[in-house]
Amino acid sequence: MHTVTMPQWATDHVLRRRGKLHAHADLDPRTTALIVVDLQNAFMVEAVAAAFVPVAVEIVPAVNRLAAAVRRTGGKVFWIRNTIDAADIVSWSQWLAMMTPEVRTALIENMKPGSRGHELYPDLDVQPADETVLKYRFSAFLPGASDLAERLRAQGYDTVLITGTVTNVCCESSARDAMMLNFKTIMVSDANAARTDAEHNATLASIYTTFGDVMDTDLLIGCLERNAAPRAAAE
């Protein structure tokens, strides 16, 4: 697991601007969606890895715990699958051109629909009521990259919990765009995975100071359950 450290300058900045440590702690569980970004074999099984991130395997228990809590308190889970198809080879050619031929071939082969790499990691607790979303760029919220934002709005979700891999690539891109599309955005510090602690923590500090909130799994589950209880009693 990552050793998470939030620098004091980031905490001080948040307190000056927001007046409290967690802007989104008083969330409504019924309008909260768990977004699980790219926890696929292509990042988690070395034999079919387009980009192997060992820590991604280690965060699976936290993601499963959070998914269960979100469902239990009235929210929904969305599993995002990074996808590269024939159209992307043309429309995203500049990104692919930056790679060596070997890396490019492995990426395309292990991210295409129907490949083992494209499948979700088998230890994830995926339930029938959850939704799966294919995305065709780093950010799941970039217009045209997926229909995630439209799905969320149509179902009344205004708060997103960002988990998955890679922290500083697809997860960070998704978190930034989610906030700019007016979703309350929370990055889960112990349910995201990067290649190094330095990359992971740099993203958390950036998100925390500008784009949203950062909480760990235990804190988030506490917020969900605390806020679900009064509403259940009222009903």
Q: At what angle do helices 217-234 and 60-72 cross, to 10 degrees?
A: 10
- What is the number of alpha carbons within 13 Å of residue 94 lying toward its C-beta? 1
For residue 20, the model assigns a pLDDT of 97
CA-to-CA separations, 133 to 77, 87, 110, in angstroms, rounded: 11, 17, 17
Give exposure, 148-164, as e/b (b: 16+ Cβ within 10 Å).
bbeebeeeebebbbbbb
pLDDT in tens, 148-167: 999 999 999 999 999 999 99
With H, G, I as helix, E, B as strand and everything else as coil, classify residue 82: strand
For residue 50, the model assigns a pLDDT of 87
Q: What count of other Cβ atoms lies within 10 Å of the Cβ of residue 136?
A: 18
For residue 186, the model assigns a pLDDT of 98
Pairing of strands 213-215, 159-165: unpaired
What tokens appear for 29 in the block?
Answer: 């569980």
**What residue ranges of the chain have pLDDT lower than 70?**
230-235
d(CA 67, CA 192): 14
For residue 124, the model assigns a pLDDT of 98
The tokens 């602690």 sit on which residue? 197
Domains in the chain with CATH codes? 25-234 (3.40.50.850)
Residue 90 burial (C-beta neighbours within 10 Å; 0-12, 13-18, 19+) = exposed
